[in-house]
Amino acid sequence: MFVDKAKIKIKAGNGGDGAVSFHREKYIAAGGPDGGDGGKGGDVVFVCDDNLSTLVDFRYKKKYCAEDGQSGGSKNCTGKSGEDLVIKVPRGTLVRDAATGRLIADISSDEPKIIAKGGNGGKGNARFASSTRQIPRFAKPGQPGEALEVFLELKLLADVGLVGFPNVGKSTLISVVSAAKPKIANYHFTTLSPVLGVVKIDDGKSFVMADIPGLIEGASSGAGLGHEFLRHVERCRLIVHVVDVSGSEGRDPKEDFEIINRELKNFNEEMATRPQIVAANKCDMASEEQIEEFKKFISERGLPFFEISAATTKGTRQLVDEIWERLEELPPIKAFEPDPVPVEESFEGRKFEISVENGVYFIEAPWLETVLRGVNMDDYESLQYFQRVLRESGIIAKLEEMGINEGDTVDIFGFEFDYMR
């Protein structure tokens, strides 16, 4: 079963809690605090698997959870970090936030993508010992892992997309130029799902061709099967438009050509500018007059024209050679850039509490935990954004009102930094 859409819930692991513990050993008095930190929760990681070609597995399992980090122990033992959960998907899968539609990642390369981050482990009481607080009887709990519902959408990665009306010979063409073996019969909608085939050229060169089924008039607005599969044309570098030049189905090849291009444009304006080659199929069944008339029609539009008969393989080799030459000049397969994480317009009026213990300013604000998890402290722009949040929310003003000095320590959910004016 070909499934190219699915919705699942993912949950990264929670961080383990820090431990409250005191060193106890024979002949050693007042050993002091030795509670260890909790382990980090496991991430939810998506990777592509070329052995997969459908999202059917996600029809039956809907919830995926990474392992929680373990709590810290005595003797300053840090809890074990939770194992990452690796989810394998077909190459070309888009991962979107189901709530907002934001594109989180395009799983098209071999690079693993972290979709949900595990929570950091809490700090044990050994971390809070100081010259003035020698017996801290508290520790920090672990942070929760990210949880979200995601929408998976497969957009096949193919260099070439075959488009055209049903029964014009697309399946026959891909079967004779590649090792793909689609079902072929003399009736409409024989092909019920996209078919990928690897077309091999001399000297070990090859490209991927996709047969996109079910396109009819109105496909872009939901008619027939085509609207289900139009998304798979979006990544194609080159479109091969297959037309029944013989009119064996009682249709006008020129009208067919215009209708399919209109549907592609209505679905995505960019497709109207995509390079295109026209393959006039079933030329063995057409008259010279039919072929010449259609060739003139295509030539007026400045498109390459090839007479082929997929059933007899006539002209298919020349078509493949032309496709390869065009691909050599075209940019690589399109990858979709993730959408930026939405930024709150204003943080004014957000509630927070600040307490001071032994010169350390502890900030408690549940809403700030989500902000902190999304900040990369090694990135200048991300750090600037975090500083803006602290100022807009009034936290900086409150710290200064409480008499904080440059170099004093600020603690936000276990993340510590020195205050700088």
User: What are the b/e assignments for 388-397, b being 16+ CB within 10 Å?
Assistant: ebbebbbbbe
Helices and strands, counts by H and E, the chain: 8, 18
CA distance 354 to 128: 17
Residue 93: what pLDDT?
A: 92
Query: How many other C-beta atoms are found inside a 10 Å radius of the C-beta of residue 61?
Result: 9
Residue of 310, 304, 225 whose CA lies nearest to 263: 225
Query: Beta 360-364 vs 305-307: how paired, if at all?
Result: unpaired
Residue 218: what pLDDT?
A: 52
Question: Is the whole-model pTM more than 0.85?
Answer: no
Domains and CATH numbers, the chain: 1-154 (2.70.210.12), 160-329 (3.40.50.300), 343-421 (3.30.300.350)
Show Cβ contacts of residue 139 under 8 Å, excluding neighbours closer than 6 positions.
Answer: 17, 18, 19, 20, 35, 72, 122, 123, 124, 125, 128
Q: Where are the alpha helices (DSSP H) in 231-315?
A: 253-267, 288-299
Residue 7: what pLDDT?
A: 95
Query: Beta 409-412 vs 415-418: how paired, if at all?
Result: antiparallel
Show Cβ contacts of residue 19 under 8 Å, excluding neighbours closer than 6 positions.
Answer: 35, 36, 37, 38, 71, 72, 73, 74, 77, 79, 124, 125, 139
Residue 225: what pLDDT?
A: 47
Show Cβ contacts of residue 101 under 8 Å, excluding neighbours closer than 6 positions.
Answer: 151
Residue 173: what pLDDT?
A: 92
Show Cβ contacts of residue 383 under 8 Å, excluding neighbours closer than 6 positions.
Answer: 375, 376, 377
Residue 248: what pLDDT?
A: 81
CA distance 57 to 76: 43
Nearest-Å Rg of the Cα atoms of the chain is 30
Token code pair at residue 42? 């496991």
One digit per residue, the tens of pLDDT, for the chain of length 421 reads 467 789 999 999 999 999 988 887 776 666 788 889 999 999 999 999 988 888 888 988 999 999 999 999 988 899 999 999 999 999 889 999 998 899 999 999 899 999 999 988 888 888 877 766 777 887 888 888 999 999 999 887 789 988 888 888 888 899 888 876 755 545 444 445 677 788 888 777 888 888 887 665 554 444 444 456 677 777 889 999 999 998 887 889 999 999 888 888 887 888 778 899 999 999 989 899 999 999 999 999 999 999 999 989 999 999 999 999 999 999 888 788 887 766 555 566 678 889 888 788 888 887 787 777 767 777 777 788 888 888 888 899 999 999 888 888 888 877 788 887 7
Q: Please, are residues 150 and 116 in contact by the beta-carbon 8 Å criterion?
A: no
